[in-house]
A and B are shown apart, each in its own frame.
Chain A
């Protein structure tokens, strides 16, 4: 009689109890440490998925464990009807290190973007004679709530849930003329990711973001940058937009902010921070536990000079991949910034390659049939980068 593995048994139990929303990898994770993940059968993986660009300090980082333990033993949740210290301290920390004046805390990237969409509507009513339409880009990704899929430039995410909330105009990424042509009297602003992360790690041209900023200034439009994935050091700068020397009016954050503890934030410059009591709220948003962890993570990132490490490690990883690409014709292009890196293949084999490298002990993800993405913890070492590239090389060579 065939004996089920521990993983198969857990997968079967899940299939009976949970809604079928995820095509999961055949891994049942048990524990993690740094860039390594162990499954219930004891197999160890090199994790270059990092909780989908979330685990900035890796798995089970001491600073997070200690912050959770300390704050959980002190105060977890009060609601936002009461002042709490970690929320104020984290807001001050973020404001001091960015060009923004005010913060709204929530629990995820989608919620952060939802807050930004509402800020745009409110600002439009107050300052732009009721303008409400937002220009967004094709292949963008802003979340899975009804509001944020309406702003997401991937039709497959929207179609099953149509009709969509109205008020979004889609233009190609990297095309400022298309944006200018799409601006109408009712247009209140533009929402985009500085680097399209989920859509393929699509890089902006050098001039695209500065040109969009200039257009917004000329036409009195609110510029929202979704830095849910690119923010907080992922690209080798604290905020990705600083690579291009410009600032948006509103910025959203989530993923790496608390290195795995759920949190989201929308930051706005004073003229755009138009929420008043009753406009927007979150029961759990900004709770003491999430904010204490976020603050501990951000202080750790700063004290380690981790962002400089990301810039150097990202260049090293990219160079190793480019070197592999020079010898391996299956690789078409390597692109990205910092530790947000995509490898574009010459054929529709990304998902097969993903399965194969996983069998060899490396976890990554595929953004399409041709595109692999690597988003390891920001603390990744040279040996771990070498190991990942060696696994990819062996996998492609075996095809």
Chain B
């Protein structure tokens, strides 16, 4: 495998990791906002 191919694979792997972190955080933020809205409604 050429150095370029290794670099491309590594870049893709890091992008996939970043996407995984982002997906989690978006869902986490959505849940926090929902929980906050529910708490406000209860009050």
Contacts and interface: CB of A to CB of B under 8 A. Distances in A.
Interface stretch (A105-113, A157-165, A269-277, A308-316): A308-316
Most buried by A among B14, B17, B25: B17
A316 B17 contact: yes
B24 to A, nearest CB: 4
B15 to A, nearest CB: 10
A305 B36 CA distance: 20
Interface residues of B, number: 16
A36 B21 CA distance: 18
A304 interface: yes
B39 to A, nearest CB: 7
A379 interface: yes
Nearest to B18: A382
Contact of B25 (A305, A319, A320, A382): A382
Q: Interface residues of A: mostly helix, strand, loop or mixed?
A: helix
A381 B22 contact: yes
A62 interface: yes
Contacts of B13: 319
Interface in B1-37: 10, 13-14, 17-18, 20-22, 24-25, 28, 31-32, 35-36
A305 B31 CA distance: 13
Contacts, number: 46
A62 B32 contact: yes
A309 B23 CA distance: 9
A254 interface: no
Contacts of B25: 379, 381-383
Most buried by A among B10, B24, B31, B39: B24
Interface string A317-334: 001100100000000000
Nearest to A384: B25
A385 B21 contact: yes
A62 B35 contact: yes
Nearest to B15: A316
A66 interface: yes
B35 A313 contact: no
A62 B22 contact: no
A316 B35 contact: no
A382 B22 contact: yes
A58 to B, nearest CB: 10
Contacts of A312: 17, 20-21, 24
A312 to B, nearest CB: 4
Contacts of B32: 62
Contacts of A379: 25, 28
B18 A316 contact: yes
B21 A316 contact: yes
Nearest to A62: B35
A299 B36 CA distance: 18
Nearest to B22: A382
Contacts of A380: 21
A216 B26 CA distance: 45
Contacts of A66: 39
A315 B39 contact: no
A158 B24 CA distance: 43
Interface in A60-107: 62-63, 66
Contacts of A305: 24
Given A304-B28, A319-B14, A379-B28, A62 B21 contact: no
Given A62-B32, A379-B28, A313 B21 contact: yes
A254 to B, nearest CB: 24
A62 B24 contact: no
Contacts of B17: 312-313, 315-316, 319
B36 A62 contact: yes
Nearest to B36: A62
Interface of A: 62-63, 66, 304-305, 308-309, 312-313, 315-316, 319-320, 323, 379-383, 385
What 3 A-B pairs are tightest by C-beta distance, nearest first? Answer: A316-B17, A381-B25, A382-B21
6 contacts: A62-B39, A66-B39, A313-B17, A313-B24, A319-B14, A383-B25
